[in-house]
Amino acid sequence: MPFYRTAIEGLLIYEPKVFGDERGYFFESYNEKVFAEHGITRPFVQDNQAFSSRGVLRGLHYQTGEHAQAKLVRVLQGEVLDVVVDLRPDSKTYGQVYSHILSDENKLQMYIPRGFAHGYVVLSETALFFYKCDNFYAPQAEAGIRPQCPELNIDWGIPLREATIAERDRNFPSFGKHKNPFPTPEKA
Domain residue ranges in the chain: 3-18+43-170
- Is the peptide bond preceding residue 60 cis, with omega within 30 degrees of 0? yes
Q: Give the pTM.
A: 0.93
Helix/strand/coil for 83: strand
Measured distance CA(74)–CA(16) in Å, rounded: 11
Helix/strand/coil for 26: strand
Place domain 3-18+43-170 in its CATH homologous superfamily. Jelly Rolls (2.60.120.10)
> Which of 14, 118, 131, 178 is labelled catalytic?
131
User: Which letter does DSSP use for residue 7 in this model?
Assistant: S
Of the candidates 24, 29, 21, the one whose C-alpha atom is nearest the C-alpha of residue 2 is 29
> Which of 61, 67, 118, 178 is labelled catalytic?
61
Catalytic, 131? Answer yes
Give pLDDT tens digits for 102-145.
999 999 999 999 999 999 999 999 999 999 999 999 999 999 99
E strand or H helix at 152, and its extent?
none
Give pLDDT tens digits for 1-59.
589 999 999 999 999 999 999 999 999 999 999 999 999 999 999 999 999 999 999 99
